[in-house]
Amino acid sequence: MTRLPFPAAPVLALLLLAGVACAAPVAPVATVQPSLETAPGLPDTPDEADADDPAVWLHPTDPARSLIITAVKDAGLRVYDLQGRLVQRVEAARAGADGLPGRYNNVDVAYGLALPGGGVMDVAVASDRGRDRIMVWRIDPNSAATPLADVTDPEQPRVFPTRRAPDGSGEIANPAADQRSAYGLTTWKGPDGHRVIVAQRKEARLVEHRLVVNPDGTVGHVRLRHWDFPYSHRGQSLTAEDDHDPARDWQPQFEGLVVDQERGILFAGQEDVGLWRVNLTTGTADAAPFHETRGSTRSPFDNRASRVARDVEGLALYYGPEGTGYLVASSQGDAHGDEKAPDPEGLDDTFAVFERGGDNRYLGSFRIVAGGGVDGVQECDGAEIVSYALPGFPNGLMVVQDGYNDDLNGLSGEPEATNFKYVDWKAIAGSFDPALMVTPQAWTPRPTP
């Protein structure tokens, strides 16, 4: 039986088992203001720069020189400092003989990748949705202007050379031009080195690769294992499409991914279905999501008890001491665009907070609203949190993508600009009652010597 996402009285549990639609009382959505935003806004070149996913890199000796590394799709990567100022533009790979240009969808950071001749390097790793590749950049802590240098193995294999046959009978060829390619991405330190977990666009599949450093210093990858998930949920086909009715339009794909590095647990957001766990030590995925999305009122999958409006998008972890902390998930919803399906309880454009450990109990939700001359956040695709004291953010930092920078164009589905917002973790923690923990420097992702 699927767990309830928050404590409920026995009567409520019986009603749910009987199929009666009802919901447990929950606290109202809290509001938080951002501290600052990245500039210039995107696009910032003739390329179609569209903000998507951020990662935070902590400098090894000087926290003030830490960086926010972001994926901006067709325009490659953008690197910012802790004041939101642009440090470096990294262009996406140009189209090769196959006519496919790079499109960088998600990005993460891996610390201490071992070099063949000794020593280590930090790297930024991104999914190249356009060419179905894993891109890697070495991060130079001594370079203020161009810290990222491409070290991707040009001879690397495709991430998804095959895909599931439509009838489920087996594997079929997967041309890169079909764009059922590398999508969501996260890294983790496995027992045999650094690994990358990648979601396949338009498919219910996650794959794990190990990063391999070649003698020349370039970085490739080898495939280790994959996980397949159902293509239907609670009677709803996840391959049903309706371009004119969002309530009847479904996808099986995952995007938001994050690994609890201390426990080896992958949290994976299947956009229309909910939040899953995979134990990376045993290789076993849970049989059902631990928190479903709300589904749709026009579907057999209609879960009003949920506090996440589909799509569920960016996932981020706040690490506290001794396994404590929080998982934060972007409840993007579908309140904007030409064809709208706003959530009746207003859970679009919110962030749901769960306990990091145990059964990942739901604790509440917050929304990032305008304040201090910075606009709010809508349709957040990606997020990252560091529970580490940084200059300007002594209580920790959350970075989120904003799909409508400056709320332009009436939130019509054709945003003229996107960017990233920086939010003080203490502001988020204090918006809850009781307040969430604030434990800066309780944990650092950088390995200790």
For residues 28-54, average pLDDT: 94
Mean of pLDDT over the chain: 91
Query: What does the pLDDT read at residue 14?
Result: 32
- Structural domain includes residue 224: yes
166-188 mean pLDDT: 96
Question: Is 297 part of a structural domain of the chain?
Answer: yes
Measured CA to CA in angstroms, residue 222 lies from 194, 214, 237, 316, 396 at distances of: 11, 12, 32, 26, 35
The residue type found at 405 is N
CA dist., res. 180 & res. 174, Å (int): 7
Q: Domain of 116? A: 29-430
In the chain, the amino acid numbered 335 is A
The dihedrals phi and psi of 323, each to the nearest 5 degrees, come to 80, 0
Is residue 215 in a domain?
yes
Strands 77-80 and 67-73, sheet pairing? antiparallel
Domain annotation covers residue 8? no
With respect to residue 446, please indicate whether it lies within any of the assigned structural domains. Answer: no
Could you tell me if 40 and 7 are in contact, meaning their C-beta atoms sit under 8 angstroms apart? no
CA distance 441 to 386: 9
Look at residue 46 in the predicted model and tell me its pLDDT: 87
Q: Could you tell me the pLDDT band of residue 12, with boundaries at 50, 70 and 90?
A: very low
The predicted structure's pLDDT at residue 19: 33
Q: For residue 443, is it within any domain?
A: no
414 pLDDT more than 80? no
Determine the average pLDDT of the residues in 379-398.
96
Rounded Cα gap, residues 23 and 128, in angstroms: 40
Query: What pLDDT score does 406 carry?
Result: 87
DSSP-assigned beta bridge partners for residue 127: 134
| Across 328-353, average pLDDT | 90
- Please report the beta strands in 97-179, taking only residues with DSSP state E, as ranges in sequence order: 104-114, 120-128, 133-139, 148-150, 162-164, 171-173
With helix as H, strand as E and coil as C, how does 194-229 read? EEEEEEECCCCEEEEEEEEECCCCCEEEEEEEEEEC
Q: What's the pLDDT at 16?
A: 35
In tens, the pLDDT along 140-150 reads: 999 999 999 99
First to last CA, the chain: 45
pLDDT at 6 over 50: no
Which whole number is the average pLDDT over 170-187?
97
pTM: 0.93
Residue 328 has pLDDT above 90, yes or no: yes
Mean pLDDT of 59-88: 97
Compute the average pLDDT of residues 314-320: 97
Give the count of domains, the chain.
Answer: 1
pLDDT tops 50 at residue 20: no
Q: How confident is the model at residue 226 (pLDDT cuts 50, 70, 90)?
A: very high
Q: What is the mean pLDDT of residues 165-169?
A: 89
Q: How confident is the model at residue 243 (pLDDT cuts 50, 70, 90)?
A: confident
Q: Is residue 279 part of a domain?
A: yes
DSSP 8-state secondary structure symbol assigned to residue 288:
S
Please state whether beta strands 362-368 and 30-32 pair in parallel, antiparallel, or not at all (unpaired): parallel
Q: Does residue 124 register a pLDDT over 70?
A: yes
Structure confidence at residue 8 (pLDDT): 36
Give the CATH number of the domain where residue 295 resides. 2.120.10.30
Strands 419-424 and 232-233: unpaired
- Residue 322 counted as domain residue: yes
Pairing of strands 133-139, 148-150: antiparallel
